[in-house]
Amino acid sequence: MSRDNGMDRRRLLKLAGLSAAGLGLTAAGCGAGSGSGGTVTIRHSWWGADDRAKKVQQCVALFEKKHPKIKVKTDFQQYADFWKKFNTQAAGGNPPDVIQNAVTFLRKYEAKNVLLDLAPQAEKGNLGLDGFRAGLEKFAEIDGKLLGVPVGSNSMALVIDEDAFEKAGVTPKLGWTWDEWYAGLEKIRSTQKLAGDSGPHGVMYLYDMVLRQNGKAFFTEDGMGFSEAELLPYWTEALARVKDGVYADPKKIEQIKPALALAKGLSAGEFNWDNFSVRYGAEGKGRYGLAPVPSTDGKRTGQYLGSLMLSGTARTKHPAEVATFIGFMTQDPEVARIMGYDRGVPATTAQFEAYQPADAPDKAIAAYETEIADAGVLEPITPHPAGADVIEAAFLRIGTDLSLGRASPQDSVKQFFSEAETALASN
C-alpha cells in the first residue's frame, strides 16, 4: 500500500512520459451569445461531486476577475446524467461551449463533428501549450486535430479502508496477486464481518487491466479485444462472490447511490481512479488509502495514466474565449491551488509546482503515482474506438443487473456483446 513518505516532485513530473494517456449524435451545438457591456458569455459543463463543483466555481470566479470581458455560466451533473444532458443539448444545437471530457469520447464526437479543433487557437496565441508534462499536450490529438487539453493524470488503484485491512491483518503490496487479494477479502469478511470489496465486475477499466495482464485489452482501435468465452468465467465468479458475501450487497449499494459504497461502510475496498480518494474522505468517516492493483503474475498490472481534459464544442460562437478559458484552467497556478488533485495530478509544470500537497489524500495520490511509476508498471493507454462510451455504460449496467440477480452470467454476457456490436456498428 502507498504511504505518505514524501516524494521527489521533479521525479513525478516524468510520470506522464511513461504513458501519454485515462467516453448517436446528429448535430453539433452553438455557443452562448454576447452579454451586455461588450462582454461575452460562454457555458462550461462538467461531471463530478459537489466538492468538485465548489472548486470549479472558485476557479471560474477567479477567471472572471482576471478576464472581466468573459463571463462563464456553469453547470454540473453526475457522470451518467452529464452525458445524457450533453447528448440532448448537442442534438438540439445548443451544447455548452466548454465541457469536461475523457479519452473514451474523443473519436465518437470527432466523427460527429461536435468537438472544436483547438489547434488554430493555439497557433493564434489564444491557447498556450507550453510546459505540459512529458507530452500530455498531445493526449487528445486525433487525426491531426487537437480536441482537448488535459487537466491532470490519474491511474486505477484499489481504494481501501485502512483500519479494516489492518485489523484483518491484510497488507496490500506491490507485486501481490489476485489470489492473495481474494484471500485477503475472505479474511476481512470472516474477521470484520464486512464485505471485502464493493464488487468490481461492472468496472470496465478494471477488466481492461485484467485483460492487459494477460496480453489482451478491452478494446482494439476499431472493436472489442476479447470474446464471450473470456468474460463468462469473470462474471460467473463475480456473481458467486456476491452470493458468498465477499462482495458487498448490491441492493444496499443501489440504495445509497450516488454515494460510494466504501465511503458508506458497505465494504472494505473498491477499485477506482486514484484521484477519487479525495471524494472518499469527503463522503466517509473512515481512514482511506490507495493500495496497488493485484496482478495475475505478480508483475504486470496493465496500468496506464488516464486524464480528464477540457474540450470546446465546434459551433461555439466564441472560440477565442473558449481557448482563453481552457488555457487559464490548465496553466494558471492559482487554479492548481484551488483544485488540488481533484481531477488528477496537474498536467502542466506551472500548476504542478504551484500546488504543494498538504492533506493526506493528496499526498497519498502523489506517493501512489510515484510508486507505480518507479515500479515500471505503466503502459500506453488502450485505444478507444467510437462507441466506447456506450459500451462502457452497457458493461456497468449489465454487470450491475447480474449482481442483483436479474440475469444469469450466460445471458448477461450475450446481452453485453450484442449491445457492444450494435454500438460499434452505429458509429
Q: Which three cell numbers stand for residue 158?
A: 484499489
d(CA 411, CA 354): 51
Decide if 127 contacts 118 (C-beta within 8 A): yes
d(CA 190, CA 121): 59
Residue-range domains of the chain with CATH: 15-153+307-359 (3.40.190.10), 156-304+382-425 (3.40.190.10)
Phi, psi of 78 (to 5 degrees): -65, 160
Predicted TM-score (pTM) of the model is 0.75
d(CA 15, CA 25): 35
Q: What single letter denotes the amino acid at residue 4? A: D
User: Which residues does 278 contact at the CB level (< 8 Å), separation at least 6?
Assistant: 51, 340, 341, 342, 361, 362, 365
d(CA 105, CA 293): 25
Q: What pLDDT, on the 0 to 100 scale, is given for residue 4?
A: 41
**Cα distances (Å, whole numbers) of residue 102 to 43, 47, 97, 343, 389:** 18, 11, 16, 11, 10
| Alpha helices (runs of H) in 314-408, residue ranges in sequence order | 319-331, 333-339, 349-354, 360-374, 388-403
**Cα distances (Å, whole numbers) of residue 374 to 107, 155, 305, 326, 369:** 32, 14, 14, 31, 9
Decide if 379 contacts 17 (C-beta within 8 A): no
Reading across the β-sheet that carries 309-312, which strands appear in turn?
70-77, 40-47, 98-101, 309-312, 149-150
Along the 427 residues of the chain, how does pLDDT read in single tens digits? 433 444 444 444 444 343 333 333 333 334 444 445 689 999 999 999 888 999 999 999 999 999 999 999 999 999 889 999 999 999 999 999 999 999 888 888 988 899 999 999 999 999 999 888 756 777 888 888 999 999 988 899 999 999 999 999 999 999 999 999 999 999 999 999 999 999 999 999 999 999 999 999 999 877 999 999 999 999 999 999 999 999 999 999 999 998 999 999 999 999 999 988 888 988 999 999 999 999 999 999 999 877 899 999 999 999 999 999 999 999 999 999 999 988 888 989 899 889 988 888 888 988 898 888 889 898 877 768 889 989 999 999 999 999 999 999 999 999 999 999 999 998 7
Phi-psi region of 177 (alpha: psi -120 to 50; beta: other; left: phi over 0): beta
Q: Is the dihedral of CA 266, 271, 275, 276 positive or negative?
A: negative
**Cα distances (Å, whole numbers) of residue 235 to 55, 111, 229, 268, 405:** 38, 33, 11, 21, 12
Closest CA to 319 of 82, 28, 56: 28
Q: What pLDDT, on the 0 to 100 scale, is given for residue 149?
A: 95
Closest CA to 11 of 381, 377, 367: 367
Coil, strand or helix: which one is 5?
A: coil
User: Which residues does 410 contact at the CB level (< 8 Å), separation at least 6?
Assistant: 232
Within the chain, how many helices (H) and strands (E) appear? 18, 12
Q: What pLDDT, on the 0 to 100 scale, is given for residue 14?
A: 44
User: Which residues does 186 contact at the CB level (< 8 Å), separation at least 6?
Assistant: 196, 246
Decide if 82 contacts 112 (C-beta within 8 A): no
Q: What pLDDT, on the 0 to 100 scale, is given for residue 384?
A: 86
